[in-house]
């Protein structure tokens, strides 16, 4: 080969065109785009240093050159040219040069294609995407390769042409969700429609307007006077007034607005109604106006010898006035007369009430003989004037005034005279003389108030009870209490008493009396840490069975921490649940006695009960013995008893006769049973006959009733909402009967007369033009009737607005330890004060209508209520009679009921809840008990016992202070008021070694003392079951847990191993996988071409 570079130009016009020639350099291919092209060539240097490049251009020969590249052996090279014009023909050739000269390759050409046109795009955004009602958002769009855009939908002028470049649009006042759409066009086509939605919050609720209106002054405005109305409103756009003298549109403003109303001539209601977007609101105020005041002129003249002043004066109708009569020197007042009428005291002449224009004339006479009348008063009042001078033969008068608690007894003296009301007028006076007024005290019922130096003691403490009295009681009797408190030897003034050591809460009572009445008060000394003795009841399902039969023994403990049984059969002798239960006796062939004893930690006195089951050995040939009894056999009128029977010798039937409360004519159980008599008012005989194949036996028992004629007296009170109204107005009359079976009304208006409801009710009087009295009489079948009235004063008839009060009880006679409600109703009262009664009654009371729960009563109680206003006071009393104590009476019905409720099952009285009914070992459980007092009285000594199962451990609780003994928790919850409620939550943890399927029982017992002092309790249970899900096999390595098995590498949180061994296993798995694939899918073949070896893949 010579030293010239052999150029071989191979031109390629198309993408893969390939041409060859004999030159030492060649242009082999070109890859052309709309504005760029890449040229490829080959150079053959033959071992010499050679530079190679390309020439190119739109003309031939090409006029542009690429960069030079240096080569020493045959090589391919390429270069890219830019800035080309689309759709244009270009020429190119490969060039090379070395020491041997210049080599030029073959000139070739190519065409640049037209550049592609990009399709337009557009995107939308909103900021913010959620706005409040009536809010604002900014819509932004981002076009690309677009020449125009058009918007639709939206709001606020969004629709129409939009910029083809990035722009924004702000929309305001959005009140609902709104969608904005946009489409853009360009040389590359049209975009799909894009959209975005702005969400709008719900509109705010429109507040309801409010309005307040008040008048000042508002009471007893003089006729023709004025008042000022003040009002304000919120959320209102307009206000309108509607009343007789005030109407039309008024200012609606949150600031106070005032308006003066003049020339008021009648009582009226001012009403203002304000309107806003949220509706209407009204307010009213009532203004009372006095009657029209008529005035008259009184003209005074004097005769010769003196003067009278003033000479004239103006007086309101019904008013009086005075004149000063002054005799000249040497003259005396002879008389004062005229058409006005009146009286002269000293030199002051006072007229009678004036009802027309009238005159007063003073007559004088020359000096005459005068005498002095001296007046004195005894204790309890005054007499005025204390002395006066009277002409011989003249008379004079004195005003007698009794102090509070006193009345005028007599007026005596040497002057002689007579008393009319509180005015004493002498006989004609002919010498100096005296007048003496005496008074006597008014006797009231006494009051007594008990107090204690310390009303709250710990067990074993003591205190001093003190008492004070008013209104001079003649005797004071004590009851209840301790240490000799009871008796009638108590001081009738002030006194004190040492209680001695107290171990339980104790009530001290005292009743003081005089000739007018009596008053009772009580005080409770509360003793904490009282030892609550346990108790237990034991019953048999049947106490009389046939040989070989069985029954159930049932026990119910109270306040017990442990119970043990003895005697009995079938394994009865053992420890028993303190939550109570029942026990099957098994077949019995002999009489068997079952016994149980219960204990607690706070008392040294155990509770014991037993029951005997009698076994009849087929004594069908012996007539039955009924064993009919009554408990108690003596009761007071209205009391009750229980009839019990326990037949023997297998009766086949038992029937009842005589008796009360549907006892007679009823088939009775041939086994033991009991029957409540209900309230008894007469001595009653109960008879039962039982029989079998051997014959029949009849037995009777008598319940004796004392005070058989004692019945509940009916009572009724009546009031009017307004007892003083103007002509043409109306009011509401209300009546409140107690223990009535019928009521009848008389008098009145608007068809008031006739039969009326025996329950509290009301009646609209209708329009009244004159004063009217409404009367009602209520009665019952046994005890007569009670009649009350109320008068509504109309027009100018004046009423002094004295208060009235009516007080009554739901029951006037209750059993020993019974309770009732005291209820009262008042009119025209501004305040009320209670005295006497039972604990909690004494003190300030509402003006009603009101009620008071008496609590348990053991002695008669008189409840007195005194109500007052500016005009005076009124009192009323009611007495609750307590019947004699009856021993062994059935337990009274509690006045409170405690429920423990939950969302699990509201049909049960108590249902505790747990939040995890399928726990696994190690799980934690929240055990919750909700409780509520739905009764009308407070309960005390509230205790919740929660027995946790052995399989759990206690962690903590709320409240956090239970008494804990093993797995038993006791919460002392104290006192729970009526409608009060509470929650106790305990956190426990299931022990780790508890097997699956184990049942966990969580019993709860809530114990308390009801308002009558009786212990009560409710029980329930909630359960869960231990659950154990299967777990994968684990290997412990270097304190790390490696889970093995089919799920080891399936992904998720445990996909990657967390130990070195795991990573080595993965690497080994990958290597084995690669080798297996290569073995299975690769088959190498070797082909030799021009002494080169190429490996191809089939």
Q: What CATH number is attached to the domain comprising 64?
A: 2.60.40.10
What's the burial of 852, exposed, middle or buried (CB within 10 Å: 0-12/13-18/19+)?
buried
Residue 708 confidence class, pLDDT cut points 50, 70, 90: very low
Ranking 23-32, 360-369, 920-929 by mean pLDDT, the lowest is: 23-32
Residue 337 resides in a domain: yes
Over the stretch 600-650, which tens digit does the pLDDT of each residue have?
876 667 888 999 988 876 555 678 888 888 888 887 777 788 898 888 888
Which comes out higher in pLDDT, residue 358 or 1074? 358
pLDDT over 80 (residue 979) = no
Among residues 287, 303, 319, the one where a domain terminates is 287
Same domain, 607 and 645: no
666 confidence band (pLDDT: 50, 70, 90) = low
Inside any domain, residue 663: yes
The 3-state DSSP class for residue 60 equals: coil
Q: What's the predicted TM-score (pTM) here?
A: 0.24
Q: 983 - beta bridge partners?
A: 930
Give 889's pLDDT tier (boundaries 50, 70, 90): very low
Residue 190 domain-assigned (yes or no): yes
d(CA 807, CA 879): 10
Tell me which H or E stretch contains 1061: helix 1060-1081
- Domain around 684: 625-706
Task: Indicate if 411 and 506 belong to the same structural domain.
Answer: no
Whether the CB-CB separation of 672 and 646 falls below 8 Å is answered with yes
What distance in Å separates the CA atoms of residue 371 and residue 6, rounded to the nearest whole number? 179
| Neighbour count for residue 438 (Cβ, 10 Å) | 16
- Verify that 609 and 681 share a domain, yes or no: no
Q: Which residues contact 618 (CB under 8 A, 6 or more apart)?
A: 546, 547, 650
* pLDDT range class, residue 231, cuts 50, 70, 90: very high
236 pLDDT more than 80: yes
| Domain shared by 731 and 760, yes or no | yes
336 and 380 assigned to the same domain: no
Which of 7-21, 326-340, 908-922 reaches the highest mean pLDDT? 326-340
| pLDDT at residue 617, as a whole number | 63
Match 């009119």 to its residue by tokens: 827
Phi, then psi, of 1068 in degrees rounded to 5: -60, -40
Note the pLDDT of residue 631.
Answer: 85
Range ranked top by mean pLDDT from 257-266, 958-967, 1023-1032: 257-266
Sorting pLDDT into bands at 50, 70 and 90, what band is 168?
very high
* pLDDT at residue 905 greater than cutoff 70: no
The string of DSSP letters for 190-240 reads EPPPEEEEEEEPPPPPPPPPEEEEEEES-SSBPTTEEEEEEEEEES-SEEE
317 and 359 co-located in one domain: yes
Nearest to 448 by CA among 424, 427, 466: 466
The candidate with the shortest Cα–Cα distance to 817, out of 388, 537, 507, is: 507
- Asked if residue 1069 belongs to a domain, the reply is no
Q: Mark 228-264 as b/e (b = at least 16 C-beta within 10 Å).
A: ebebbbbbbeebbbebeebeeebbbeeeeeeeebeeb
Q: What is the mean pLDDT of residues 349-362?
A: 94
- Do residues 1016 and 949 both lie within one domain? yes
State the DSSP H helix or E strand holding residue 568, giving kind and residue range, or none if neither: none
pLDDT given for residue 832 in this prediction:
92
User: CB neighbours of 174 closer than 8 A, spacing ≥ 6?
Assistant: 131, 133, 134, 135, 136, 137, 155, 198, 200
CA distance 994 to 726: 85
Instruction: For residue 533, give the nearest of 505, 497, 554, 561 by alpha carbon.
Output: 561
Same structural domain for residues 918 and 1020? yes
Question: Whole-angstrom Cα distance, residue 149 to residue 190?
Answer: 9
% the chain with pLDDT above 90: 34
Q: What is the pLDDT of residue 23?
A: 44
Q: Return the pLDDT at 621.
A: 65
Average pLDDT over residues 115-132: 90
pLDDT at site 433 = 96
372 pLDDT more than 90: yes
Q: What pLDDT, on the 0 to 100 scale, is given for residue 11?
A: 30
φ, ψ of residue 885 to 5 degrees: the values are: -65, 135
Residue 843 lies in a domain: no
Joined tokens for residue 63: 């006029």
924 shares a domain with 1018: yes
pLDDT at 1043: 30
Query: What is the mean predicted confidence (pLDDT) over 231-253?
Result: 88
Residue 878 lies in a domain: no
**Per-residue pLDDT at 575:** 84
Name the maximum alpha-carbon separation found in the chain. Answer: 190
Q: List the structure tokens of 626.
A: 């009924």
Establish if 894 belongs to a structural domain. Answer: no
Tokens at 828, concatenated:
């025209």
Element (H, E) at 1067: helix 1060-1081
Q: Three-state SS for 1078?
A: helix
CATH number at residue 982: 2.60.40.1510
Same domain, 933 and 987: yes
668-680 pLDDT per residue, tens: 888 778 888 887 8
Task: Establish if 1 belongs to a structural domain.
Answer: no
* Rama region for 661: left / alpha / beta (φ>0; ψ in -120 to 50; rest): left
Q: Tell whether 305 and 331 lie within a shared domain.
A: yes
Q: Exposed e or buried b for every residue in 327-363, given b needs 16+ CB within 10 A?
A: beeebbbbebebebebebbebebebeebeeebebbbe
983-1022 exposure pattern, b = at least 16 Cβ within 10 A, e = fewer: ebbbebebeeebeeebebebbbbbbbbbbbeeebbbbbeb
The span from the CA of 379 to the CA of 133, in Å, is 83
Q: Report pLDDT for 12.
A: 27
pLDDT of residue 150: 94
Domain boundary among 287, 321, 340: 287
Task: Select from 399, 425, 441 the last residue of a domain.
Answer: 441
What is the rounded average pLDDT of the residues 20-42?
A: 75
Q: Are residues 600 and 636 in the same domain?
A: no
Q: Name the least confident of 67-71, 1007-1011, 1028-1032.
A: 1028-1032
Q: Cα 532–538–542 angle (5° rounding)?
A: 165
How would residue 125 be classed by pLDDT, with cut points 50, 70 and 90?
very high
Is residue 523 a contact partner of residue 455, using CB atoms and an 8 Å limit? Answer: yes
Q: Which residue has the higher pLDDT, 301 or 561?
A: 301
CA distances from 721 to 233, 293, 358, 764, 791 (A): 29, 27, 42, 10, 11
Q: How many domains does the chain have?
A: 10
Average pLDDT over residues 564-581: 88
């Amino acid at each position: 080969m010579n030293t010239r570079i052999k150029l071989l130009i191979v031109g390629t016009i198309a993408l893969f065109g390939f041409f060859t020639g004999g030159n030492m350099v060649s242009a082999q291919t070109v890859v052309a785009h709309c504005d760029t092209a890449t040229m490829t060539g080959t150079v053959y240097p033959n071992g010499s240093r050679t530079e190679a490049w390309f020439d190119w251009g739109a003309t031939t020969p090409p006029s542009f050159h690429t960069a030079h590249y240096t080569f020493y052996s045959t090589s391919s090279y390429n270069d890219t040219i830019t800035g080309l014009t689309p759709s244009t023909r270009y020429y190119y050739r490969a060039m090379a040069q070395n020491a041997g000269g210049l080599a030029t390759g073959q000139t070739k050409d190519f065409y640049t294609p037209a550049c592609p046109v990009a399709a337009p795009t557009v995107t939308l955004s909103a900021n913010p995407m959620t706005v409040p009602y009536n809010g604002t958002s900014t819509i932004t769009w981002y076009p690309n390769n677009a020449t125009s855009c058009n918007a639709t939908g939206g709001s606020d002028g969004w629709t129409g042409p939009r910029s083809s470049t990035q722009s924004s649009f702000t929309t305001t006042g959005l009140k609902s969700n709104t969608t904005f759409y946009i489409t853009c066009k360009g040389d590359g086509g049209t975009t799909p429609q894009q959209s975005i939605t702005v969400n709008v919050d719900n509109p705010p609720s429109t507040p309801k307007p409010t309005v307040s209106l008040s008048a000042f002054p508002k009471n007893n405005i003089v006729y023709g006077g004025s008042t000022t109305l003040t009002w304000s409103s919120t959320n209102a756009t307009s206000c309108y007034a509607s009343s007789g003298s005030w109407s039309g549109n008024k200012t609606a403003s949150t600031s106070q607005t005032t308006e003066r109303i003049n020339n008021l001539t009648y009582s009226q209601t001012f009403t203002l109604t304000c309107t806003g977007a949220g509706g209407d609101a009204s307010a009213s105020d009532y203004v009372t106006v006095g009657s029209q005041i008529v005035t008259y002129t009184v003209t005074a003249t004097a005769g010769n010898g003196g003067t009278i002043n003033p000479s004239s004066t103006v007086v309101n109708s019904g008013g009086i006035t005075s004149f000063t009569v002054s005799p000249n020197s040497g003259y005396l007042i002879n008389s004062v007369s005229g058409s006005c009428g009146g009286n002269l005291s000293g030199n002051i002449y006072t007229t009678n009430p004036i009802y027309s224009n009238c005159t007063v004339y003073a007559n004088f006479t020359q000096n005459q003989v005068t005498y002095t009348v001296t007046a004195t008063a005894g204790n309890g009042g005054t007499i005025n004037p204390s002395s006066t001078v009277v002409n011989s033969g003249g008379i004079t008068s004195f005003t007698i005034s009794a102090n509070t608690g006193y009345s005028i007894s007599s007026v005596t003296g040497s002057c002689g005279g007579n008393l009319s009301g509180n005015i004493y007028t002498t006989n004609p006076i002919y010498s100096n003389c005296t007048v003496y007024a005496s008074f006597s005290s008014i006797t009231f019922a006494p009051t007594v108030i008990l107090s204690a130096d310390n009303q709250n003691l710990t067990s074993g403490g003591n205190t001093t009870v003190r008492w004070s009295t008013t209104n001079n009681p003649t005797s004071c009797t004590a009851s209840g209490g301790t240490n000799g408190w009871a008796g009638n030897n108590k001081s009738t003034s002030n006194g004190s008493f040492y209680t001695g050591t107290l171990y339980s809460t104790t009530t001290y009572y005292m009743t003081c009396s005089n000739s007018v009445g009596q008053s009772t008060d009580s005080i409770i000394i509360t003793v904490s840490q009282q030892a609550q003795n346990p108790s237990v009841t034991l019953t048999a399902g049947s106490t009389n069975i046939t040989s070989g039969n069985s029954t159930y023994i049932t026990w119910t403990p109270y306040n017990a921490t442990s119970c043990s049984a003895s005697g009995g059969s079938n394994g009865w002798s053992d420890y028993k649940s303190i939550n109570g239960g029942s026990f099957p006796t098994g077949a019995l062939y002999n009489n068997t006695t079952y016994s149980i004893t219960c204990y607690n930690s706070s008392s040294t006195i155990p509770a014991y009960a037993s029951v005997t089951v009698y076994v009849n050995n087929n004594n069908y040939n012996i007539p039955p013995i009924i064993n009919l009894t009554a408990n108690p056999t003596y009761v007071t009128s209205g009391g009750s008893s229980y009839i019990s029977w326990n037949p023997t010798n297998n009766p086949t039937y038992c029937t009842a006769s005589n008796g009360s409360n549907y006892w007679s004519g009823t088939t009775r159980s041939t086994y033991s049973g009991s029957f409540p008599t209900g309230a008894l008012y007469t001595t009653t005989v109960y008879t039962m006959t039982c029989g079998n194949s051997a014959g029949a036996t009849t037995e009777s028992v008598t319940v004796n009733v004392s005070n058989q004629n004692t019945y509940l007296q009916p009572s009724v009170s009546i009031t009017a909402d307004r007892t003083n109204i103007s002509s043409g107005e109306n009011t509401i009359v209300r009546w409140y009967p107690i223990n009535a079976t019928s009521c009848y009304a008389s008098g009145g208006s608007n068809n008031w007369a006739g039969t009326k409801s025996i329950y509290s009710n009301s009646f609209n009087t209708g329009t009244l033009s004159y004063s009217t009295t409404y009367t009602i009489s209520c009665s019952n079948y046994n005890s007569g009737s009670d009649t009350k009235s109320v008068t509504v004063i109309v027009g100018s008839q004046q009423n002094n607005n004295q208060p009235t009060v009516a007080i009554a009880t739901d029951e006037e006679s209750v059993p020993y330890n019974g309770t009732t409600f005291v209820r009262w109703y008042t009119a025209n009262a501004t305040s009320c004060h209670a005295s006497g009664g039972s604990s909690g009654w004494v003190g300030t009371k509402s003006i009603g209508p009101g009620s008071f729960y008496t609590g348990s009563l053991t002695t008669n109680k008189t409840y007195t209520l005194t109500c007052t206003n500016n005009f005076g006071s009124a009192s009323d009393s009611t007495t609750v009679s307590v019947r004699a104590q009856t021993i062994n009476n059935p337990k009274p019905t509690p006045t409170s009921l405690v429920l423990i409720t939950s969302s699990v099952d509201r049909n049960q009285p108590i249902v505790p809840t747990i939040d995890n009914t399928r726990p696994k070992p190690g799980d934690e459980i929240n055990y919750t008990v909700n409780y509520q007092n739905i009764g009308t009285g407070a309960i005390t000594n509230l205790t919740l016992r929660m027995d946790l199962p052995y399989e759990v451990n206690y962690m903590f609780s709320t409240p956090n202070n239970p008494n804990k003994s093993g797995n038993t928790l006791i919460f002392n919850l104290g006192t729970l008021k009526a409608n009060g409620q509470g929650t106790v939550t305990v956190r426990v943890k299931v022990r780790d070694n508890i097997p699956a399927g184990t049942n966990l029982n969580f019993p709860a017992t809530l114990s308390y003392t009801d308002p009558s002092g009786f212990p009560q309790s409710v029980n329930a249970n909630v359960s869960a079951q231990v659950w154990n899900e299967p777990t994968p096999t684990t290997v412990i390595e270097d304190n790390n847990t490696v889970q093995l098995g089919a799920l080891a590498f399936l992904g998720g949180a445990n996909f990657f191993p967390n130990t070195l061994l795991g990573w080595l296993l993965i690497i080994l798995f990958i290597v084995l996988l690669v080798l297996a694939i290569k073995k299975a899918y690769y088959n190498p073949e070797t082909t030799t071409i021009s002494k080169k070896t190429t490996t191809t893949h089939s």
